[in-house]
C-alpha cells in the first residue's frame, strides 16, 4: 500500500511539474513583447465590398456589392496604389493564366460576372483581356445602376506589370486553381526575379500547384490547405516543447481567429517562433472558409491583446488609420 501511495505521489508530482513546464514554456506572459503595430494585408488592394452571408463558390459578388464608398476596383494598379497609400504592408492579388503565357491579375475563372466578356479567362490572350471593361458587372441595387460600367477598360494588369510598378512592395499571390501545371508555370515566371525581390513575395492556392511551386522554388513562402494542416497538426503535437516541425518552416500560415487561441504560445510566442523560421502568420476573421477580414473598428476588439503579426482586411482604408493611430 505504501509503495502504491508513493508511486501515486510521484505521478502527481511529475504531472504537476510537467504542467508548470508546459505553461511557462508556452506563455506569452514571459516572452519579449514585439515592437510596433500589427502589419496589414489588404485583400485584392482597395476593393468594393459585399455582404458575406450566404456566399457560395458560385456567387457573383460584383452583383451584390455594398453601396460604393470609393472609386477603386479590385486587382487593379490604382487599387493597389490606394491600398499602400492607406497603410497596407502587403497586398493580396489573384492570378489567372492566359492563352499566350502571361498571368493576368483577375479573380474570376470566367468573365461574365465582372466584365463585358464571355468564356473562361484562361482561354483569352492578354491583348483580348485588356479590351474588356472589368467594372461592367458591378451593381449595388440589383442592376438598376452600374456605377463602374465604362470605367474599367484596360485596367486588367499582368503580374509582371504589378511587380514592376511596385518594385519594393510585398505581395501575396493567389493561384485560383488546383492545376499543378499552373504552379510550374508560375514558378518559371517568378524565377526571373532577384532573390531579394522573391523574398517580398509569397504564394498560396490549391495543394497541387503549390506543391509544384515549392518544388521549383524551395525558398519561396507558400501555403495550401495541405501545408497549413501539416504544420498546425504537427505543431500542436510537438511544439509545447518548443520544437518547431519542418512543416512550419519557411511558409505562410493563415490562422482563423476561431482556432488561434488553441495554438501553443499564441499570440506573441507563437508569432515569434514562426518568424524565427521565416514563416509569416496572418490572422483572418471567422473560421477561414471565406476571405473574411477585420473590416470594422469593432472587429479589431477581437484581435488578441499583444498580437503584432499580420491582420487580413478587406477595408484597408478603414482599418489602417485606426491601427496607425
- Same domain? For 72 and 103 the reply is yes
Is 41 buried (19+), middle (13-18) or exposed (0-12) by CB count in 10 A? buried
Flag the least confident range among 139-148, 159-168, 229-238, 300-309.
300-309
- Residue whose grid cell is 524551395: 218
- Same domain? For 94 and 191 the reply is yes
| Segment 9-42, tens digit of pLDDT | 777 766 777 666 666 677 776 676 767 789 999 9
- Same domain? For 112 and 5 the reply is no
Q: Are 231 and 245 in contact (CB under 8 A)?
A: yes
The confidence band for 291, taking pLDDT boundaries of 50, 70 and 90, is confident
- Same domain? For 78 and 136 the reply is yes
Rounded Cα distance, 101 and 115, in Å: 21
Rounded Cα distance, 13 and 216, in Å: 51
| Segment 33-74, tens digit of pLDDT | 767 789 999 999 999 999 988 888 889 999 999 999 999 999
The CATH number assigned to the domain holding 86 equals: 3.20.20.190
| Segment 102-134, tens digit of pLDDT | 999 999 999 999 999 999 999 999 999 999 999
Residue 90 three-state SS: strand
- Same domain? For 96 and 217 the reply is yes
- Same domain? For 92 and 23 the reply is no
**What was the pLDDT predicted at 7?**
66
pTM: 0.93
- Same domain? For 26 and 167 the reply is no
Residue 72 three-state SS: coil
**What was the pLDDT predicted at 56?**
84
- Same domain? For 173 and 297 the reply is yes
Domain that includes residue 73, residue range: 32-324
- Same domain? For 47 and 26 the reply is no
**What was the pLDDT predicted at 288?**
78
Q: Are 72 and 78 in contact (CB under 8 A)?
A: yes
| Segment 233-276, tens digit of pLDDT | 999 999 999 999 999 999 999 999 999 999 999 999 999 999 99
Q: Are 40 and 319 in contact (CB under 8 A)?
A: yes
pLDDT of residue 98 exceeding 90, the answer is yes
pLDDT of residue 8 exceeding 80, the answer is no
pLDDT of residue 232 exceeding 90, the answer is yes
- Same domain? For 189 and 47 the reply is yes
- Same domain? For 36 and 173 the reply is yes
Tell me how far the alpha carbon of residue 152 is from its chain's centroid: 25
Rounded Cα distance, 229 and 250, in Å: 15
| Segment 146-177, tens digit of pLDDT | 999 999 999 999 999 999 999 999 999 999 99
- Residue whose grid cell is 485606426: 322
**What was the pLDDT predicted at 58?**
86
Amino acid at each position: 500500500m505504501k509503495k502504491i501511495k508513493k508511486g501515486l505521489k510521484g505521478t502527481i508530482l511529475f504531472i504537476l511539474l510537467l504542467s508548470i513546464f508546459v505553461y511557462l514554456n508556452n506563455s506569452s506572459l514571459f516572452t519579449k513583447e514585439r515592437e510596433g503595430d500589427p502589419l496589414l494585408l489588404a485583400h485584392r488592394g482597395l476593393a468594393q465590398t459585399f455582404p458575406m452571408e450566404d456566399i457560395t463558390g458560385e456567387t457573383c459578388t460584383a452583383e451584390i456589392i455594398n453601396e460604393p464608398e470609393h472609386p477603386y476596383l479590385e486587382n487593379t494598379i490604382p487599387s493597389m496604389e490606394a491600398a499602400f497609400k492607406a497603410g497596407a504592408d502587403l497586398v493580396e492579388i489573384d492570378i489567372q493564366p492566359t492563352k499566350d503565357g502571361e498571368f493576368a491579375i483577375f479573380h474570376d475563372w470566367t468573365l461574365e460576372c465582372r466584365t463585358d466578356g464571355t468564356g473562361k479567362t484562361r482561354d483569352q490572350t492578354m491583348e483580348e483581356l485588356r479590351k474588356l471593361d472589368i467594372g461592367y458587372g458591378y451593381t449595388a441595387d440589383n442592376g438598376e445602376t452600374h456605377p463602374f460600367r465604362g470605367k474599367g477598360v484596360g485596367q486588367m494588369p499582368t503580374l509582371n506589370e504589378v511587380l514592376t510598378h511596385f518594385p519594393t512592395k510585398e505581395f501575396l499571390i493567389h493561384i485560383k486553381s488546383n492545376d499543378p501545371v499552373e504552379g510550374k508555370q508560375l514558378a518559371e515566371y517568378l524565377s526571373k526575379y532577384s532573390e531579394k525581390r522573391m523574398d517580398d513575395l509569397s504564394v498560396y492556392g490549391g495543394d497541387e500547384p503549390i506543391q509544384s511551386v515549392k518544388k521549383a522554388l524551395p525558398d519561396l513562402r507558400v501555403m495550401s490547405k495541405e501545408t497549413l494542416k501539416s504544420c498546425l497538426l504537427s505543431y500542436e503535437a510537438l511544439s509545447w516543447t518548443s520544437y518547431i516541425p519542418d512543416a512550419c518552416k519557411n511558409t505562410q500560415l493563415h490562422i482563423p481567429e476561431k482556432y488561434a487561441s488553441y495554438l501553443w504560445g499564441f499570440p506573441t510566442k507563437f508569432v515569434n517562433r514562426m518568424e524565427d523560421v521565416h514563416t509569416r502568420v496572418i490572422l483572418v476573421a471567422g473560421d477561414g472558409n471565406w476571405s473574411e477580414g477585420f473590416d470594422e473598428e469593432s472587429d479589431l476588439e477581437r484581435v488578441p491583446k499583444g498580437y503584432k503579426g499580420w491582420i487580413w482586411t478587406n477595408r484597408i482604408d478603414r482599418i489602417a488609420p485606426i491601427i496607425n493611430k
